[in-house]
Structure 1
């Protein structure tokens, strides 16, 4: 990745949302002002995606004065561009977590993940929101040999975790639920679901503003020297704060090298079809569930409330988005749904998320008064929202959930920030070959 490029502006115009379906359909907020001059707050939150918005909201509800700084627009990054799926569990399955961390720690991580989805459900009911949470995510296995594991895993969650909202599905049922010949079985989880992510982010911003949070856009942080109180500098402002929360995820840049060594940005892409007749929608995915498949570079898809198929897939690892996102995503889309050949694609967009080596979120106390929460690895809608509530708890002296998350080891990328991209590309090539076998 070129050091001369900034992910905040490499693919986007300053102060503007991407040309996504979400941005076109959203009920927008008027722009917030740029931060200027000397200011002070109990807490300064950097980044107005799910983590930052939720942190600010939950702190304000606890009585803290909060300044929220966003370099672009509220919900500009992955929070306003993603697939909209709020999955149960962590990004890593429970049997793997049990093997690496022990059953007690794994159980706590499951409980936290369950709380994250419930929090999204609860927040989505607020009058400030303009979006609906829809139940159900189907995990679709693209290889028949994966199905026994999926069936066993659903039973494990039922028997050992008391989770009765998931069940295994075999070939006939998945081909009834998903109109594709590509899948052989999997699971259906009615405790998970999907939502319009940008509308959800904008709703969080409305709630935060109503709770007293001072939100500033176009306010990129240039410097964050450690100290007590902490200082946060932008080009036009200097904020003094008792605590700082870094909520930058894939757009961290060079703001903190300790986090950057463990959290890496990658790009993912989505297209939106023209609206479909509701009956035709049912022929692709029954009952308005969302779908994510078993490929390492996941295909994920669902319908918008105005009956467009939103199909996500393909990843790239440089700063620049490809010149033809439509063509890039059309290839996996037609592999799954060949009957879409010739369909009009009204929107195509990319976004930058952040991954970790072990695909678990990276929570770290960088200093006594500086927290960082990021690295959701494509599983961030619910977990990033809960991360904000957890950060607010930790600042107010209740760090139990923060410590459960922070005690999951997050390995450094080999070679640090200089070599993480070429090494990841090699790994992804290997996994893409494995997907085809």
Structure 2
């Protein structure tokens, strides 16, 4: 792997943190209790939960800790999953949908507990607002909120336009569903903090160690170009970056490009006029915008998903225009940096977690909603490896279909489908 391949992907997140030395790549043959593929949130959380239970754990990462979506995302940690609860009810019925939603609340509690217990400094801030742009979106958001409050006992607040403007200085939105239990963080700092927490309990992490093959059997094995790890159990946490390791998993997810920009520094006073309570914000369009303030008083503004695996043309200009639509008062402010990466979505946007074989576990399909859910996934899998399968069994009851079209046609079909949803957003 080239030296360029050993660096974190360029982003404001990476530039805002001191560089860390490379963890030693895998060399030779090793044996352990559990081997984890991927040092993103899911893999690191599984490793940490397993180490807390006394297991010996080795993690193999193709690049650097948090190199993929875990280190580049919007940093919004939200209760729930990539799909709404009515989708879960359709897939598994209300009793299991309720269990799944309650598990997601446990995942948020676990995230907060780990930030405190392991002293992970990642600029955590409380509060998340989901905001509608048009009347159709407002009706849908209010209905969804009513279901969560009345049938799922989840406390949320509805803010009318005036109340929202008291916290968010944008004329674009009709109101907000505010969730005080969700929040946002510095995603790469969180990933690095999880890694240090896991290492403090004896977990071994090998960076620059791309896995080339999974060998299944009584004692499964992960192979790299320069070594192997044989284990009693394996956890596959590659998400959008499996690249042939487990074809039956790859057929049920689609890598989708998503993009974020960092504005020039605004200064504390000007930044605080934009989002007075420092919450994270996301609209509810299919091609959504999401944004928050950074600790150094920039606006971090994301959106503009690409379903074709090609970055949008003139990305910086597009992101700047979208930022100005939300905050016209920033007409004199541009994007200093833009970056992107892939998230993995499932057809139904529900999480896809389970077992490939009795000793090979996996979690994928976070569908852009993984900051809190990944921690839950790692803990649920660690729990199952330790012999407690109750929570994982519920996730395994969620049905998942392959994306149609095979490798050649599934991306064009998805692009066509998403174009319709984007048109629906435009016409309201």
Q: Smaller-chain TM-score range?
A: over 0.9
- Determine the C-alpha separation between the residues in 1 that align with 2:388 and 2:323: 45
Indicate the residue corresponding to 1:343 in structure 2.
333
Query: Partner of 1:316 in structure 2?
Result: 306
Change (3 A) 1:14 1:321: farther
Aligned position for 2:137 = 146
Q: Which residue of 1 aligns with 2:54?
A: 63
Take 1:237 and 1:179, find their aligned partners in 2: how far apart are those partners?
Answer: 55
How many pairs align? 427
Match of 1:202 in 2: 192
Of 102, 111, 123, 1:132 maps to: 123
CA 1:13–1:338: 2 relative to 1, 3 Å = farther
- Counterpart mapping for 1:208-357 below 5 A: 208-322=198-312, 324-357=314-347
Change (3 A) 1:297 1:289: same
2:424 aligned with 1:424: no
Query: Structure 2 regions of 5+ residues with no counterpart?
Result: none
| Aligned residue in 2 for 1:402 | 392
TM-score of the pair, normalised by structure 2: 0.96
Shift of residue 322 of structure 1? 4.8
Say which SS state the counterpart of residue 201 (structure 1) adopts. helix
Are the aligned partners of 2:92 and 2:397 in contact in 1 as well (CA < 8 Å)?
A: no
1: CA distance, partners of 2:228 / 2:331? 53
- Give the root-mean-square deviation of aligned CA atoms: 1.8
**Bigger mean CA deviation after superposition, 302-311 or 408-417:** 408-417
Alpha-carbon distance in 2 for matches of 1:417, 1:177: 45
Q: Distance in 2 between matches of 1:402 and 1:162?
A: 23
1:345 positional shift = 2.2
SS at match of 1:286: coil
**In structure 1, how many angstroms separate the alpha carbons of the residues matched to 2:224 and 2:329?**
50
Q: Distance in 1 between matches of 2:241 and 2:327?
A: 33
Report the Cα offset of residue 261 of structure 1: 0.6
Q: TM-score, normalised by structure 1?
A: 0.94
The secondary structure found in structure 2 opposite 1:177 is coil
Q: Flag structure 1 segments of 5+ consecutive residues without an equivalent.
A: 1-7
Following superposition, the deviation at residue 281 of structure 1 comes to 1.7
Deviation of 1:287 after TM superposition, in Å, equals 0.4
Aligned residue runs from structure 1 range 171-190, under 5 A: 171-190=161-180
CA–CA separation in structure 1 for the residues paired with 2:333 and 2:384? 49
Q: Distance in 1 between matches of 2:141 and 2:407?
A: 35
SS of structure 2 residue aligned to 1:125: helix
